[in-house]
Each structure stands twice: as C-alpha cells, then as structure tokens.
C-alpha cells in the first residue's frame, strides 16, 4: 500500500497545492489593488478561472481567502529576513526590511486589509499560521530594534513597540501611492524619500 499509492496521492496533492497557490496569488493581487471590501469572491473566481463554488471548496470564506494571502506574505517576509546577511548591523537590517516592504507595496503585491473589519480580525487571529508568522517577524524585528537602540543607532528614548509599529506602518503608507500617482518620481526614488523621512525625519540634521 505504501509502495503503490504514494505517487498518485502526491500528484493530486501537488495539483491541489498548485491551484491553491494560483488562488492565493489572485487574492493577493486583488487585495492590493482594491482592498478587502471592494474585492468580491466572484472576481477572484473569474481571475483564477474556476467557478465560485469550487473556490469555496478550497477556502471556507472570503475572510479565509484574505488570511491565506496574509500568510503567504508573512512567509515571504520570513524568507527575506532569513536571507539578510548575518554580518549586517541591526540598523541596516531594519532599513532593508522597510525598503523591501515598500517595494512590495509599490509593486502592487502588498494586500491591504481594513484594520476595522471585525470578522476579518477574528479570522486572522484564529489563523495560527498567520499569528505564528506575525509573532516570529515581530520578535526578530523587535530584537534588532533593541540592538540598534543599544548601539545608539535608533533613538533609545522611543519605546521599541512604537518603533515596530512605525516600521510596519510603512508597508501601507498612503504617501507611497500619492507620490506614485504624481508620476514625478520613480519607485526607487519614492522608496528613498519615504525611507529618509522615516529614519531621519523631516527636520534638518
């Protein structure tokens, strides 16, 4: 039994995962484009190229679709953190992470969820994959923040939690899209500008 069935099971499982990946990719893009409320399940189904009922066989609700997209982004973030050079300073790592998240946002790959929606919050906080990823990322960023403060790179008077929130907020900063709409600056220039205001502030140094 072990010798005959595995390949077939594995193949089917692979197809299933591939389809779910396609779904998540569509959800991710649509969430970045229009946000959670404006995205409809019909759109997702049409974008993936399957029927809506089939979609509900994979994910039990619209909220779970969004959660899956967030888990996906969280995994990408973890992979990015893992790939950072170990010899870099805590400050450099933090700057790299923020640069990466802003790039994701400008590329239209950062899903945007309303922080108010309660049913979505409940689904997200009940999703252990998402919560574990969030905790892991927060812990690692938190450690770098405290290290940077000890080294005198980040203002030690700021509570680490406030710094963490400030960094997270750059991933959904409306300044990015406003500057992009103006069409005066390239994506790299926009990232450089916002990175500068974030770490160095508006005041002259």
Partner DNA sequence: GTCTATAGTTAGATAGAC
Partner DNA sequence: GTCTATCTAACTATAGAC
Which residues of the chain form contacts with a copy of itself (CB under 8 A)? 33-35, 37-38, 91, 112, 114-117, 152-159, 161-163, 165-166, 169, 172-175, 177-179, 182, 184-185, 193-194, 196-205
In the bound complex, what is the minimum distance in angstroms from residue 126's beta carbon to a copy of itself?
18
Q: Which does 97 bind (CB under 5 to 8 A by kind): a copy of itself, DNA, none?
A: none
Nearer to a copy of itself, 48 or 98 (CB): 98
Q: Which does 99 bind (CB under 5 to 8 A by kind): DNA, a copy of itself, none?
A: none
Nearer to DNA, 39 or 190 (CB): 39
Nearer to DNA, 114 or 156 (CB): 114
Q: Are 31 and 70 in contact (CB under 8 A)?
A: no
Q: Compute the radius of gyration of the chain from its Cα atoms.
A: 20
Closest CA to 27 of 59, 51, 5: 59
In the bound complex, what is the minimum distance in angstroms from residue 39's beta carbon to DNA?
7
CA dist 47 to 15, 23, 25, 59, 60, Å? 18, 8, 10, 16, 18
Quote the DSSP letter at residue 202.
S
In the bound complex, what is the minimum distance in angstroms from residue 32's beta carbon to a copy of itself?
10
Nearer to a copy of itself, 49 or 156 (CB): 156
Q: Are 110 and 101 in contact (CB under 8 A)?
A: yes
Q: Which does 57 bind (CB under 5 to 8 A by kind): DNA, a copy of itself, none?
A: DNA
CA dist 102 to 75, 115, 193, Å? 16, 19, 11
> Number of C-alpha atoms within 13 angstroms, CB side, residue 102?
29
Q: Which two tokens stand for residue 15?
A: 């197809």
In the bound complex, what is the minimum distance in angstroms from residue 117's beta carbon to a copy of itself?
7
Nearer to DNA, 99 or 112 (CB): 112
DSSP 23-64: HHHHHHHHHHHHHHHH--HHHHHHHHTS-HHHHHHH-SSHHH
Q: Which does 11 bind (CB under 5 to 8 A by kind): a copy of itself, DNA, none?
A: none
Q: Which does 197 bind (CB under 5 to 8 A by kind): DNA, a copy of itself, none?
A: a copy of itself
């Amino acid at each position: 039994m072990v010798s005959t069935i595995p390949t077939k099971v594995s193949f089917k499982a692979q197809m299933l995962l591939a389809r779910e990946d396609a779904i998540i990719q569509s959800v991710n893009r649509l969430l970045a484009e229009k946000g959670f409320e404006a995205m409809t399940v019909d759109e997702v189904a049409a974008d993936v190229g399957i029927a809506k009922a089939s979609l509900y066989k994979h994910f039990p609700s619209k909220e779970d679709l969004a959660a899956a997209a967030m888990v996906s982004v969280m995994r990408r973030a973890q992979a990015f953190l893992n790939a950072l050079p170990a010899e870099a300073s805590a400050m450099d790592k933090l700057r790299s992470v923020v640069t990466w998240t802003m790039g994701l946002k400008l590329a239209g790959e950062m899903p945007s969820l309303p922080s108010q929606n309660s049913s979505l919050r409940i689904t997200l906080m009940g999703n252990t994959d998402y919560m574990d990823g969030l905790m892991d990322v927060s812990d690692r960023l938190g450690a770098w923040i405290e290290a940077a403060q000890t080294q005198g790179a980040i203002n030690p008077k700021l509570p680490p939690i406030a710094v963490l929130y400030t960094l997270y907020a750059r991933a959904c900063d409306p300044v990015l899209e406003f500057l992009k709409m103006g069409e005066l600056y390239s994506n790299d220039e926009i990232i450089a500008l916002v990175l500068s205001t974030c770490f160095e502030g508006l005041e002259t140094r």
